[in-house]
Amino acid sequence: DADVTQTPRNRITKTGKRIMLECSQTKGHDRMYWYRQDPGLGLRLIYYSFDVKDINKGEISDGYSVSRQAQAKFSLSLESAIPNQTALYFCATSIAWGDEQFFGPGTRLTVL
C-alpha cells in the first residue's frame, strides 16, 4: 500500500528503443516530479508538473518527455533510449512546490 509506486522496477533495453516509466500516487498531491540519479551526481530534475495541465522542464529534459494522464499518474518516456540514460529514475510528489517530497521506490534502467 505504498503511496507512490513506480513500474517497472527494473528494465534493460537496447539503444533506440522507446521506453515508458510509470508513476502512480495515492497521496492526492497535485505536484509530481521525475528525477534521475547517477552515481556521484545526486538527483537531477527532469520534468515536473503542478497539475494535469501544467508541465515544466527541469534541469535535464533533453531526450525525455512526460505525460500527466490524471492527478494520480505521471509517465516519463524515453523516445529513443541511449546508453547515457542508464540511471536510477525516481518519481516524487508534494503538496506544494518546495515542500517535503514523497518518493517512489525507483526504476533502475539500463540501456545497452
Q: How many CB atoms lie within 10 A of CB 31?
A: 19
Residues in the chain: 112
Q: Minimum Å distance from CB 70 to other proteins? A: 21
Q: Minimum Å distance from CB 103 to other proteins? A: 4
Is the Cβ–Cβ distance between 66 and 58 less than 8 Å? no
Is the Cβ–Cβ distance between 74 and 65 less than 8 Å? no
Where does this chain bind other proteins (CB under 8 A)? 4, 35, 40-45, 59, 88, 90, 92, 97-106, 108
Decide whether 63 or 106 has the Cβ nearer to other proteins. Answer: 106
Cell of 93: 510528489
Decide whether 49 or 101 has the Cβ nearer to other proteins. Answer: 101
Q: Minimum Å distance from CB 80 to other proteins? A: 26
